[in-house]
Amino acid sequence: MKKSEKRKQGIFSVCTIILFFIVSFIFFGCYLIRPGTSGSAKPLYETFYVGNEGIQYFIKPLKFKGEKYENIYIDIVFRHKDEFKDSATINISIFTQDPFLGLNKIDFENDSILVNSSDIKILFTEKHDKGNHLRVAVKIPTISLNNLFKNISWKINVFKNSSKYEFITDKSVRNDLSKLREAIFP
């Protein structure tokens, strides 16, 4: 082989190796690079465009802890266009050992605001292997929901007959509420 042919073959081999690394980086690089935890609220809610009514928000279930073995989960649905108006629906799942009937009212509060809701709509009640599940819905003014998000230390009071049950946020839920506040209620 001539020197020029060997040289061309050597350059071709080097170019092939470089090309291989570039293609490998482009192809595999997209899969290997993962964004850091940005603290995004997007996994906590979904949005839907509803035409002239603006955007409908669905805040995925958040867990509130009771004093004993009770837990409740709330999810929230509301619409927003240019301003907060109308009402937000808060769906509440109450998990208890004993049947949880005879609800009088449900309050949502933090250090800044107390929102009462005595118009409770029972969606269903069912028994399961670890106790009972009661699903209810309440409506509150959307502006009150906006004000609740201004302080993330929420407490939910559920009144059953003459008893009061308190459910509070833990650190992870306060963190979620903070992310939601920044994303939806700036």
- Which of 32-36, 46-50, 95-99 comes out lowest in average pLDDT? 32-36
DSSP 162: T
Per-residue buried b or exposed e for 51-87, using 16+ beta carbons within 10 Å of the residue's own CB: eeeeeebebeebbbebeeebebbbbbbbbbeeebeeb
Whether the predicted pLDDT of 148 surpasses 50: yes
pLDDT of residue 59: 97
> How far, in Å, are 51, 72, 142 from residue 56 at the CA level?
10, 23, 12
- Strands of the chain (E only): list them: 45-49, 55-65, 71-80, 87-96, 103-109, 114-117, 120-128, 131-141, 155-160, 163-168
pLDDT of residue 19: 57
pLDDT of residue 31: 44
CB 141 within 8 A of CB 153: no
- How much is the mean pLDDT over the chain? 84
Handedness of CA 22, 24, 27, 31 (dihedral sign): negative
Q: pTM of this prediction?
A: 0.76
CB 121 within 8 A of CB 138: yes
Q: How confident is the model at residue 128 (pLDDT cuts 50, 70, 90)?
A: confident
Average pLDDT over residues 55-78: 92
Whether the predicted pLDDT of 159 surpasses 60: yes
How is the chain split into domains, by residue range?
1-34, 42-184
108 compared with 80, residue with greater pLDDT: 108
Whether the predicted pLDDT of 186 surpasses 60: yes
pLDDT of residue 2: 63
Q: How confident is the model at residue 50 (pLDDT cuts 50, 70, 90)?
A: very high
List all residues 6 or more positions away from 66 whose beta carbon is below 8 Å from its beta carbon: 72, 165, 166, 167
75 compared with 104, residue with greater pLDDT: 75
Out of 2.120.10, 3.30.70, 2.60.40, 1.10.10, select the CATH number for domain 42-184.
2.60.40
